[in-house]
Amino acid sequence: MSYWIKVNYDHREYVIDLDRLSTFTHGPNGKITFWLPDSTIPIIINRQSDPDGYQRVVNYIQKLSARSPSGFWITFSYERHDYILDLNKISSFCHYPNQRLTFWLPDSSMPIIISEQKYPEIYHKIIDYIEQKTGYLLT
């Protein structure tokens, strides 16, 4: 199933299938960021620059809470942003002896570093996901 929308960003129109996206971030300033599939191009929208596109993305994100379209979506706060992320689209995780976990956002080169001390709930959700999906127990 596809969920196509049109958004205006940087004086251009983009037609995007939201079902192909793997990560959304929402900052304290109300901006929503996502990365175009198969590229590292971020699209940043807000209510003022593209009210219709912004509302369509917000509606889609709200639907992710109710259903999980072919993925394992999680929501967490990290460095003053809220992230909505499909763990099934993460292709590698790096676990450190000091209980830190690093992964890279799909279609972006941005690393997310989660420590058990600072983010215990999301850390354990991801560790459980890794064990469930791969059979590997990270200690």
Look at residue 68 in the predicted model and tell me its pLDDT: 59
**C-alpha separations of 4 from 12, 17, 60, 90, 111 in Å:** 16, 4, 10, 23, 28
> What is the C-alpha to C-alpha distance for residues 102 and 114, in angstroms, rounded to an integer?
6
Q: Which residues of the chain have pLDDT under 50?
A: none
Look at residue 106 in the predicted model and tell me its pLDDT: 86
> What is the C-alpha to C-alpha distance for residues 31 and 54, in angstroms, rounded to an integer?
9
Structural domains in the chain?
2-65 (2.40.50)
Look at residue 125 in the predicted model and tell me its pLDDT: 93
In 3D space, the residue among 77, 69, 82, 14 whose CA is nearest the CA of residue 42 turns out to be 14
Look at residue 64 in the predicted model and tell me its pLDDT: 80
- Say what the pTM is: 0.85
Give the tokens for residue 7: 């958004």
Distance of CA 42 to the CA centre of its chain: 12
Look at residue 66 in the predicted model and tell me its pLDDT: 65
Look at residue 65 in the predicted model and tell me its pLDDT: 65
Look at residue 110 in the predicted model and tell me its pLDDT: 87
